[in-house]
Structure 1
Amino acid sequence: MPQLRLGSIAPDFEADTTEGPIKFHEWAGNSWVMLFSHPGDFTPVCTTELADISQRLPDFVKRDVKVIGISADSLQTHFEWIEDIIEIASKTAPTCVEYPIIADTERKVSLLYDMLDHQDMTNVDEEGLPYTIRTIFLIDPNKVIRSLLQYPASVGRDFDEVIRLIDAIQVADKHKVMTPVCWKPGDDVIIPPGTPDEEAKKQFPEHTTCPKLAYMRTAPMKDLEH
């Protein structure tokens, strides 16, 4: 099976989820998608993550991103786990889990997306089957994988960074620009090196060029709105 990379088409699949059976590409439609995996239900780190995403869901909806989780457990345990997720999230604010979680007991989707841990022999179930690595796929409306992040089982993810990454990719796509280190909405953007000077002047009238680095041209966000 070919390795999935940035630019690969996200494989289609059919699966049972907590919101009913889906065909992935059909479910995704013309939206962006964040597909994120977890080793198993009732794991403390993952419980905090799903609780956090439940509270952040409006931030993803605002960016036209559909959220879908996957865990190598059954629908029955998913529904039981959701009660725990709501319990943890509700310590901060009333919360519901309003996104689907895929049941992947046979690891079919996990294998398709190469999300199985082949190194950590402690990260297995009672039958010795490997659990899924904690992975995030950001997939655009054309079903192209735009980002792939993987975390060890012991470390919780930072969804502030995931949202920042979504913002940066969407701005870069829409305006044909690049973003510098630690970029956030409102910060200056970078004009791609291949952009001719005359075109840069037309598209980014208030851009500046570093005197000693001709390739370093930046533009304020307001240039993108004219």
Structure 2
Amino acid sequence: MKDIEVKFPLIEDISMEVAKKYGMIQPGESKTQSVRAVFFVDPNETVRAIIYYPLSLGRNFDELYRALIAMQTSDKFNVATPADWNPGDDVIVSPAGSCGVAEERMTSTEDLDCKDWFFCTKKLDKDLVLDSILKK
């Protein structure tokens, strides 16, 4: 690929120092090659997610992008995203903290789909998500 601007940091680890410190040498594969790993680090320098791939397995860049957008959506809108979530899919609203709040929540005018007091989902518009995350 040519003329691609990478807008995030990448680590080159020729000495294998980082790979050894983080236990990334795959047993039985090689003494000089590490697994392929993706570390999602937020602006506060907190590791939010790690995805490991053995040398023999290609990475799924659509899944990496999906995971990144899901984490950013969770942060921006104070929601959780279910398995296989993509922008435009329903999100999970955090459970209420007390029974009184739970009753209020079940009768709320907010557009929630509550299965019970502890599990509610809501629509989150795909364009709203992408516009606020990607700042088009």
TM-score between the two structures when normalised by the length of structure 1: 0.47
Residue 110 (str. 1) matches residue 3 (str. 2)? no
RMSD of equivalent CA atoms: 2.9
Structure 2 residue 127 is the aligned partner of structure 1 residue 218: no
**2:114 is aligned with 1:209:** yes
Alignment of 1:12-51 (within 5 A): 51=1
Please state how far the C-alpha of 1:189 moved relative to its aligned partner. 0.5
* Deviation for aligned residue 1:180: 1.4
Query: Distance between the aligned counterparts of 2:75 and 2:32, measured in 1?
Result: 37
**Which one scores higher on RCO, CA 8 angstroms, separation ≥ 6?**
1
CA–CA separation in structure 2 for the residues paired with 1:201 and 1:165: 32
Aligned residues of 2:96 and 2:117 also touching (Cα < 8 A): no
Q: Does the CA-based 8 Å contact 1:188-1:221 persist in structure 2?
A: yes
1:200 deviates by 8.1
Equivalent residue, structure 1, for 2:34: 132
TM-score between both structures, scaled by the size of structure 2: 0.74
SS in 2 for 1:183: coil
Unmatched 5+ residue regions in structure 1? 1-50, 71-101
Q: Secondary structure at the match of 1:109?
A: helix
Distance in 2, matches of 1:201 and 1:149, equals 40
For this pair of structures, how many residues does the alignment match?
A: 123
- 1:193 aligned to 2:95? yes
- The question of whether the paired residues in 2 share the 8 Å contact of 1:201 and 1:207 is answered with no
Structure 2 unaligned blocks of 5 or more: 130-136
Amino acid at match of 1:205: E
- Given residue 36 of structure 2, which amino acid in structure 1 is its aligned partner? R
1:77-98 CA distance string (max 9 Å, x none) = xxxxxxxxxxxxxxxxxxxxxx
Structure 2: how far apart are the matches of 1:175 and 1:139? 19
Which residue is 2:65 aligned to? 163
| Counterpart contact for 1:140–1:146, Cα < 8 Å | yes
Cα deviation, residue 67, structure 1: 4.2
Q: Whole-Å Cα distance in 2 between the matches of residues 141 and 165 of structure 1?
A: 16
**Residues 215/163 of structure 1: CA separation in 2 closer, same or farther (3 Å cut):** same
Write the distance in 2 (CA, Å) between the matches of 1:209 and 1:168.
21
Match for residue 132 of structure 2? Answer: none
Q: After superposition, what is the alpha-carbon deviation per residue over 1:34-81, rounded to whole angstroms, capped at 9, x for unaligned?
A: xxxxxxxxxxxxxxxxx5xx78x67x85xxxx141x4xxxxxxxxxxx
- SS state at 1:149 partner: strand
